[in-house]
Structure 1
């Protein structure tokens, strides 16, 4: 199992709300997507020196 499914199963076993698990994974995925999109749009990596 990966980390996401492990956290879902753990939350379900403990009878906790799984909304926070989904929210945190969605947040990480969107932030990663936005960072990649920005890198591609600017055509250079973060902290690269531009001459």
Structure 2
């Protein structure tokens, strides 16, 4: 990659430590570019996570306190299973246009 080499050459002198760390994580940093263009927004978007967090907050609010950490884990697990069941047949944006 010519552009990558130019970038590293330009900034390596001033930010040697940062560039070294960047080179270490580079294969994982932009891995979503390996996926089809149609589904990339779904991968790097946090909308699904935020939606699930709002569901958990809304359903946990009336409970006020949980007697133990285990009961909280169980509650969140049940909410995750319920959320997955609710959206199981839904085709997320872009995934309907892509094949295995």
Question: What TM-score do the two structures reach when normalised by structure 1?
Answer: 0.45
Greater Rg by CA: 2
Structure with higher RCO (Cα < 8 A, 6+ apart): 2
Question: What TM-score do the two structures reach when normalised by structure 2?
Answer: 0.27
